[in-house]
Amino acid sequence: MVLDTLTQRAEAVRSFNRYYTRQIGVLHEHLLESEFSLTEVRILYELAHRQGLTSSDLCQELGLNAGYVSRVISGFEKKGLVGKSRSPNDARAIQLNLTEQGRKVFEPLNQASRKEVSAMLARLPELRQAQLLDAMARIRALLDPTEKSYVLRDPYPGDLGYVIHRQALLYAQEFGWNNEYEALVAEIVSKFVREFKPARERCWIAEKDGKVVGSVFIVEQDAATAKLRLLYVDPAARGLGIGSRLVDECLRFARQAGYARMVLWTNSVLTDARRIYDRAGFALVEEETHHSFGKDLVGQVFARDL
């Protein structure tokens, strides 16, 4: 029998699905050597990461049958993993939440899943890891054009040069800054590479659809103070929350690294960045006029305790 083109493509997708489910162990009766199925772990994951979910929310989010979800939740309740409460916004709605026991049960599963995927990735060289993540992001974008997926990752060779180029170009286009700013960015990035302290400093690259769309650096100012530097998000990727996510990652890393305070320097014309800093809890502590990058500017120092 000769298959038509669409059927052939469907078979290719099914073949890939069978291959990938073997790779991630979905065909095992119980996921991650636990008593739970893949779907049960997915439900636990959603409840662990999102507040105020109802059974209807889970059905819609995971594409599950209402009766099946009800049976799973009932089983979780009997094991003391899930509790129920009335929604403060709608008395008719019953919200689900993980109990303390539920979180104790879920966390080892979450760590085991991360360990398994990390082991799968570790078998690949850095370049192929990047290609795999690019391909995954591309699949999501093709299947759902409204998908706002992006990844944050460490820089690959060539990324830092691109960050210098992109920031210099963007600020020239948006604010008319001259190549003095490009020189400043190059100096900051060069120092970061030459004097890099792995336990105290970090760079994140934001990537969407295989393209670099943003970045941020965290560097050591002194033993107690971290400095956030060179935050930017490409105009094509703004509105996705990437800037706020980059700042959140800086704050999380700085706390883990043992810093007590974080500071940053910006200019008043960068209003989008200032809104991100305000939401992240930074406060203006110093302000000074200066002439730089071919413009009269107002430099600002923001800070916050960690």
CA 185 to centroid of chain Cα atoms: 24
How many Cα atoms are found within 13 Å in the side-chain-facing hemisphere of 70? 4
Task: Return the DSSP state at 131.
Answer: H
Per the CB < 8 A criterion, the answer to whether 133 and 151 are in contact is yes
Using one digit for the tens of pLDDT, what is the confidence trace for 223-263?
A: 999 999 999 999 888 888 899 999 999 998 999 899 999 99
Q: What is the pLDDT of residues 116-161, one digit of tens each?
A: 888 888 888 877 887 787 777 777 777 776 666 788 888 998 999 9
247 neighbors 214 (Cβ within 8 angstroms)? no
pLDDT at 55 > cutoff 50: yes
Q: Is 145 exposed, middle or buried (0-12, 13-18, 19+ CB in 10 A)?
A: exposed
In the block, residue with structure tokens 């073997």? 22
The residue type at 219:
V
CATH architecture of the region 25-114: Orthogonal Bundle (1.10)
Task: List, edge to edge, every strand of the sheet that includes 225-233.
Answer: 151-153, 202-208, 211-222, 225-233, 261-267, 295-305, 283-292
Torsion, CA 249, CA 253, CA 256, CA 262, rounded to 10: -100
Same fold, 25-114 and 151-305: no
d(CA 254, CA 109): 27
pLDDT tens, position by position, 165-192: 999 999 999 999 999 999 999 999 999 9
DSSP 8-class letter at 239: T
Round the average pLDDT of the chain to a whole number and report it. Answer: 87
Residue 36: Cβ within 10 Å count: 20
The CATH number that domain 151-305 falls under is 3.40.630.30
Q: Phi/psi at 288 (nearest 5 deg)? A: -155, 135
The three-class DSSP label of residue 275 is helix
Mean pLDDT calculated for residue range 7-26: 76
Q: 281 pLDDT band (50/70/90 cuts)?
A: very high
Q: How much is the pLDDT for 27?
A: 41
Taking residues 57-61, what's their average pLDDT? Answer: 85
Which SS3 state, helix, strand or coil, does residue 140 take? Answer: helix
Q: Where are the domains of the chain?
A: 25-114, 151-305
Q: Residue 285, exposed/middle/buried by CB under 10 A (0-12, 13-18, 19+)?
A: exposed
Given a cut of 50, whether residue 285 has pLDDT beyond it is: yes
Question: What pLDDT score does 3 carry?
Answer: 60
pLDDT of residue 187: 97
Q: How far apart are the first and last CA of the chain?
A: 67
Q: Kindly state the greatest CA–CA separation across the chain.
A: 77
Give me the pLDDT at residue 37, please.
79
Q: How many whole angstroms separate alpha carbon 200 and alpha carbon 218? A: 8
138 close to 209: Cβ distance less than 8 angstroms: yes
Tell me: the pLDDT tens digits for 75-119? Answer: 999 999 999 888 776 667 788 889 999 999 888 888 888 888 888
